[in-house]
Structure 1
Amino acid sequence: MSQKDENASSEMEISLSEWMMKRSRITRKWKRTFFILNGYHLSYAKAEQGPYKTIPLQNTVIEEAHIDGMKYVFRLKPPKSKREYLIQAPNEQSEQRWMQAVCFAKAGANNGDASQACSIQ
């Protein structure tokens, strides 16, 4: 595969990484967390080197959240799970970029099922 072909195929895959805040499900404190979206997989860790935990994206609900008056917060709620992930982006552009990228990755994780169109609530 030529360099040009490699670039073309990598442009089709969604890839994003950034430090954001994630609310702990146990202590409910906000912690600085490194997130990486690579293809159809969203992972997070305390350090860029990992170890990473994965958030399932298939059929996950993505929505803006209004928590404690904080800005740029969005929620991910995987199906068949009582767990929800609250994530705070550093600014509005980052929040929108992440929500859109996760939404497209979710649609891809659903094997391109047209009934699972990308929608953010």
Structure 2
Amino acid sequence: MYKLTNNAEVVIRVDDGAIVPRGHRFWDDYEAWLLSGGTPMPADTMSLESTERAWRDAEILRVKWLGERHQDEILLKGKTTLFDSEFTELLTYLQALRNWPQSTGFPVRDNRPLAPVWVSKYGV
């Protein structure tokens, strides 16, 4: 028996939990099993809320270092990478991310808080 994953190129062999990507030597066994009438178990699905919370958590981790670096640069009395206005935008964005699960637009993807455009220039 096999179980689908959220990636169409990967299945799980249920007997031993082996992860079988397309091209692996066990993929042929999977296809033969399908041809003989086998029906794979459906993929586990995260709820939309869980998926969006996971995105939010990853997004916070992705950008918060910019604010931390800015604060460190201030403490060291050095030149800051961010302008004060960018730092304020970043803090506002981080707060919007933290508040998003309680907002009326949650968990609709189109309602995600938008990162400031300038964030991308820092390779984030």
TM-score greater than 0.5 by the shorter chain? no
Q: TM-score, normalised by structure 1?
A: 0.25
Structure having greater relative contact order (Cα 8 Å, sep ≥ 6) = 1
Higher strand share: 1
Q: TM-score, normalised by structure 2?
A: 0.24
Mark the structure with the bigger radius of gyration.
2
